[in-house]
Amino acid sequence: MNKRIRISPVTRINGFWNLEVEVDGGKITDAWSSGIFFRGFEEILKGRDPRDAAYLTERICGICSSAHAVAASRALEAALKIEVPRNAVLLRNLSFGADLLQNHIRHFYLLTVLDFVRGPDRPPYIPRYEADYRLSRVETDRVMNNYRGHFEIARLTHEMVTIFGGKAPHQHGIVPGGATTIPKVDRIQKFMGMLDLVIKFLEDKLLPDMELLAGRYEDYYRIGRGYGNLLAYGNFPVPDSPGKFVMPFGLYTGGKKEDFDPTVIREHVHYSWFLQDRPRHPSEGETDAEPDKAGAYSWVKAPRYNGRPFETGPLANLWMKGEYTNGISTMDRLVARAIEARFVAVLMKQWLKEIEIGKPVYQPFELPDRESEGVGFTGAMRGALAHWVRFRGSKILHYQIITPSAWYCSPRDDNGMRGPIEEALVGTPVADVSNPVEVGRVARSFDPCLACAVHLVRIEGNRLKFRNESI
């Protein structure tokens, strides 16, 4: 019997998201992904100083803020052909890397584990979907113990962000032209000590727990495959090698790799609550809300590469690097994220040793009084992120952002093609329609962030209700 299930909002993700699926004969036959709150960050950037975009766009999101600082800085640096000093490359890699570790550790324990492991029978672990929890009592206790332990480790990764970034989230260490913190021996040592603890946690707890889940839920290597299209932008620049990245740019589609061509990206909005005449390249894209648009069902636009939907994230990064090519599925996404965390953490030890005390961290520059344009590409925690900026002197004229979550949480495009998560859900077995735990397992493997996918709540009405005036 055909049944439509609506999960609204989807919990254990960032932001507000609806998923709707149609189940027939025990399998999902269709799916709709809907970003349910309006933002409009690109609009507030117009008229601002382009040097502020790094700090302003960090406010898009609390969990991946460093990635926006990197993308906004690179966009301005690309427009003005600024080469940042070697130390700045290292410091940015380190503070962004610490934020990436924060994200991956939290995603595994806080957001993923409870899809597979039966938590204690008390809030906040209940209510929950009752499901085929497959771990023994002893194994469950072990994973839940590490779940509790991860809070301190995730806090530590945020503290690492503050060592070179001043604060977390929304750090102040990454700016156009370089970095803001002068590296000193005590800071480097402190960072190293914390990094060692994080690596130990990854090796002793997270990776073994991931392996346990992957073994017990082996069927999830065949579930949630989706289109099999992967997209990665260059991440972690290699010091002294301009244009070279540890994680390379690239695509994987139709079973083979392709080079990345930024000119063939378009955003479709036929099913999104935006006005727009045709699919547009982000350098000429608009953010004009049209909340009553007939047929639309999401605040997320539908980015497409050469007309095709792509997923992005740690799996895409490791695939382009040749470090992980086991498959594209729910479990492969989770395993790749865990592997990427350790991979980056180990690289960070090396970068720390390469910092040269006393050498510059910032390249000063002027804003010319002519129209300039640039794009900042980066791998964010969740994958391919880019900012497109056009400005004259100290005023931004145009700004567009495409986040990783926009790529994979997108609704259908102008040709009616489903977004990557919608497609990955089709074919997923649902054993019990009143406990559709399988939907969350597939969807969360992508690490969706709807705060990023759409960009800033417009507060209507009285702000006072959000604030306790007596404090």
List residues binding ligand NFE (CB under 6 A). 14, 61, 63-64, 67-68, 380-382, 385, 403-405, 449, 451-452
Q: Which is closer to ligand NFE, CB of 16 or CB of 221?
A: 16
Q: Which two tokens stand for residue 108?
A: 């595994």
Least separation in angstroms between CB 148 and ligand NFE: 24
Work out the end-to-end distance of the chain between its first and last CA atoms, rounded to an integer number of angstroms. Answer: 55
CB of 452 to ligand NFE, least distance (A): 3
Query: Please, which residue, 111 or 144, has the CB nearer to ligand NFE?
Result: 111
The region that residue 410 occupies, defined by phi over 0 for left and psi between -120 and 50 for alpha, beta otherwise, is: beta
How many CB atoms neighbour CB 460 within 10 A? Answer: 7
Q: Which of 381, 421, 384 is nearest to 401 (CA)?
A: 384
Taking the complex as a whole, how short is the minimal distance between the CB of residue 98 and ligand NFE, in angstroms?
14
The least CB distance from residue 460 to ligand NFE, in Å, is: 23
Instruction: Please say which residue, 146 or 235, places its beta carbon nearer to ligand NFE.
Output: 235
Q: How far is the CB of 25 from ligand NFE (least distance, A)?
A: 33
Rank residues 68 and 337 by Cβ distance to ligand NFE and give the closer one: 68
Q: Dump the DSSP string for 192-230.
A: HHHHHHHHHHIIIIIHHHHHHHHHHTGGGGSSS-TT--E
Give φ, ψ of 299 to 5 degrees: -90, 0
Taking the least distance from each CB to ligand NFE, the nearer of 205 and 455 is 455
Residue located via tokens 């019990």: 432
Contacts of 120 (CB under 8 A, 6+ apart): 144
CA 101 to chain centre: 12
Nearest distance from C-beta of residue 393 to ligand NFE, angstroms: 27
Q: In this complex, which beta carbon is closest to ligand NFE, that of residue 305 or of residue 362?
A: 305
Alpha carbons 96 and 64: distance in angstroms, whole number: 9
The two structure tokens encoding residue 140: 């469950």
Residue among 62 and 120 whose Cβ is closer to ligand NFE: 62
Nearest 5°: the CA angle 390, 392, 397 is 45
Taking the complex as a whole, the smallest distance from the CB of residue 383 to ligand NFE amounts, in Å, to 7
- Strand 27-35 relative to strand 17-24, pairing: antiparallel
CA distance 316 to 328: 9
CA 192 to chain centre: 25
ω into 9 cis (within 30 of 0): yes
Torsions phi, psi of 435, nearest 5? -135, 65
Select 146 or 378, whichever has its Cβ closest to ligand NFE.
378
- Cβ 64 to ligand NFE shortest distance, Å: 3
Task: Pick between residue 362 and residue 399 the one whose CB is nearest to ligand NFE.
Answer: 399
Least distance between ligand NFE and beta carbon 14 (Å) = 5
Smallest gap, in angstroms, from Cβ of residue 280 to ligand NFE? 20
What tokens appear for 78 in the block? Answer: 């690309």
Given the complex with ligand NFE, which of 85 and 374 has the nearer CB atom? 374
Query: b/e map of 261-273 (b: 16 or more CB within 10 Å)?
Result: eeeebbbbbbbbb
Residue that has been written with the tokens 């055909």 in this structure: 2
